[in-house]
Amino acid sequence: MDKLLRVDMTTLTVTDEPFPSEWELQGGRGLSAKILNKEVDPKCDPLGAGNKVVLAPGVLSGSIAPTSGRMSVGGKSPLTGGIKEANSGGQAGQKLMRLGYRAIIVQGKATDAAKRYLLTVNKAGYALTEAPELKMLRTYACAELLRDRHGAKAAFVMVGPAGELGLSGASVGFTDEGKKNPARHAARGGLGAALGVKGLKAMVIDDDGTKARLPENMDTFKAQVQQMTKEHKEGPQIFKHGTSTTVPIANMLSTFPTRNRRMMQFEHAANLDGAVIVKNFETRGGGMHHCMTGCIVSCSNVVHGADGNYITSALEFETLALCGSNCEISDLDTVARMDRLCDELGLDTIETGGAIGMAMDCGALAFGDGAAALALMEKIDKGDPLAEAVGRGVVATAKHFGEARIPAVRGQGIPAWELRSLPATAITYATSAMGADHTAGLVIFTPPGKDAATASQEAQLVNALCDSSGFCKFQQPKIDEIRTLYGAHVGREVSFEEAADLGWNVLVDEWAFNTNAGFTAADDDVPEFCRTEAVPSNGMTVTATAEELQSVFTRRPISDELRTMRAVG
């Protein structure tokens, strides 16, 4: 029988409890929202003992479904003050589910803030032990130490120094398949800070001796898996070289932020094109890999420097935009080092790149000065006031300088995908409980005849279901594929309508949390400058009215597009 694992950092105890049967089709983001609504006061201090951090693999994680081992991290966000879910690849999701745990709930806070703890979970049980040697370790050193002690087969989860310091740009890091580096991060929303301040530095999840989770109806499950695998192999495989190859298209569509979003096209975009990364594999080494067992997409690049040594993985489109063009840094290797430093410190690259762009715009360092950006980042865990503001994100950095033009929605820095150039995505940023988060419902092209609010709502629904299933968005599952696997998994018919309801209800649960936290309709909007300052290259601003935005909270009938829509992020 599946269980929940509860880690109480106040009493320093770990217990397990049966997983509620009524939640059989709840996982990942949806499960996290259920637990947070049930157990957390929405008005609590996100960095206090009352907040809880939920680590939940998806419903299908641990099974043979392809690319389905994502791990959701949920909690009240120190960045937005609302509910947040950020999910990551890496090894932990598959392993935790194979051990029979549907989620780890971390609650309370260590009474001695100077102490650090390590949670180990394996087939024999679980333990919470004091781990002073891990204190303030950067993530690669932390992973190396854990690998030496626990073996390379286990998965490791950790916060970096940024999380321990409670910086609201902090991520939760996960080791990946292959080199077992902490290169995958549940990055958005500062959940690393919510976890780090509790005193839980790291987790070891070792599934040695377990097997893949078996569905009730293996024949149907297997047939669906085979069909998805075949379709992927025969399809265009648009992510086979990673999201970094999106750069030229994004630049063409005026959604490649430049100079703190003063412009949305970068004259040196070609330098940051993922095609350069792929070309460099020939002379520098590195290559594409999958970050977790069972992934058939392998979108993750391993980036080496000119000396042939590993720098980072994965260098994604969003990082190239926020740490690169947004700061007018055109040197690919510098951006790769910024990505590595974010991973080392345990920071979101989107939030950090946005904050550095803000600091450049305010004159603290020059646009394009990669060395100065790296030097500033090096000070984030050393008590430097500006560097700490950068570690707290875009809004904190703007406040540091008294700047009113802030590229953030609901407290969270805007990702690369630009709300002025993409009308339906603007509506997603304004209405999602997540704040500015492209993974909540990115819409690049609004289907002909469909209004932007409906396109946003449909994208938000599909992505909420995907984030609850364990599927990686780069597998691009459709509702119909998820519901077929769900049905075979639990041994009963799951209709399209039931699966769509599951996705919608995740959104409803998240909106309810935020309403109870004190958010109102006035918060469902974009920054003022996005309505008044046109993108120079296309003349566009956000034009959505308050009525259009509020209409997202009323569910639309199921459309033909929803039936064929794929999750994307």
Sites of contact with ligand SF4 (CB under 6 A):
67, 89, 290-292, 295, 297-300, 472, 474
Q: For ligand SF4, give the closer residue by CB, 400 or 473.
A: 473
Give strand ranges (E) for 239-395.
Answer: 287-289, 300-304, 310-313
Q: For ligand SF4, give the closer residue by CB, 32 or 300.
A: 300
Q: In what order do the strands lie in the sheet with 172-174?
A: 125-130, 117-122, 200-205, 155-158, 172-174, 184-186
Q: For ligand SF4, give the closer residue by CB, 240 or 405.
A: 240
Q: For ligand SF4, give the closer residue by CB, 299 or 327.
A: 299
Q: Least Å distance between CB 281 and ligand SF4?
A: 16
Residue 503 to residues 28, 103, 317, Cα–Cα distance (Å): 12, 19, 26
Q: For ligand SF4, give the closer residue by CB, 465 or 544.
A: 465
Q: Least Å distance between CB 348 and ligand SF4?
A: 16
Q: Least Å distance between CB 296 and ligand SF4?
A: 8
Q: For ligand SF4, give the closer residue by CB, 354 or 569.
A: 569
Q: For ligand SF4, give the closer residue by CB, 82 or 274.
A: 274
φ/ψ of 329, rounded to 5, equals -95, 120
Helix (H) or strand (E) holding 413: strand 412-413
Q: Least Å distance between CB 216 and ligand SF4?
A: 25
Q: Least Å distance between CB 300 and ligand SF4?
A: 4
Q: Least Å distance between CB 462 and ligand SF4?
A: 16
Contacts of 476 (CB under 8 A, 6+ apart): 566, 567, 568
Residue 501 to residues 361, 479, 483, 554, Cα–Cα distance (Å): 44, 11, 11, 13
Q: Least Å distance between CB 466 and ligand SF4?
A: 11
What's the CA gap between 483 and 465, in Å, rounded? 10
What's the CA gap between 348 and 358, in Å, rounded? 15
Quick check: 174 and 185 in contact, CB under 8 A? Answer: yes
Q: For ligand SF4, give the closer residue by CB, 421 or 475.
A: 475
What's the CA gap between 558 and 289, in Å, rounded? 37
Q: Least Å distance between CB 518 and ligand SF4?
A: 34
Q: Least Å distance between CB 72 and ligand SF4?
A: 14
The pair of structure tokens assigned to 265 is: 């096209």
What's the CA gap between 37 and 21, in Å, rounded? 18
Q: For ligand SF4, give the closer residue by CB, 297 or 360.
A: 297
Q: For ligand SF4, give the closer residue by CB, 134 or 350.
A: 350
Contacts by 228-233, CB closer than 8 A, 24 or more apart: 228/65, 228/66, 228/475, 228/477, 228/481, 229/66, 229/296, 232/66, 232/296, 232/297, 232/475, 233/296
**Phi-psi category of 540—alpha, beta or left, where left has phi over 0 and alpha has psi -120 to 50?**
beta
Q: Least Å distance between CB 99 and ligand SF4?
A: 20
In this structure, what DSSP letter does residue 521 have? G
Contacts of 206 (CB under 8 A, 6+ apart): 95, 120, 121, 122, 123, 150, 151, 153, 154, 155
Q: For ligand SF4, give the closer residue by CB, 256 or 474.
A: 474
- What are residue 453's DSSP bridge partners? none
Give strand ranges (E) for 89-241.
Answer: 101-107, 117-122, 125-130, 155-158, 172-174, 184-186, 200-205
What's the CA gap between 89 and 94, in Å, rounded? 9
Q: Least Å distance between CB 237 and ligand SF4?
A: 11
Contacts of 547 (CB under 8 A, 6+ apart): none
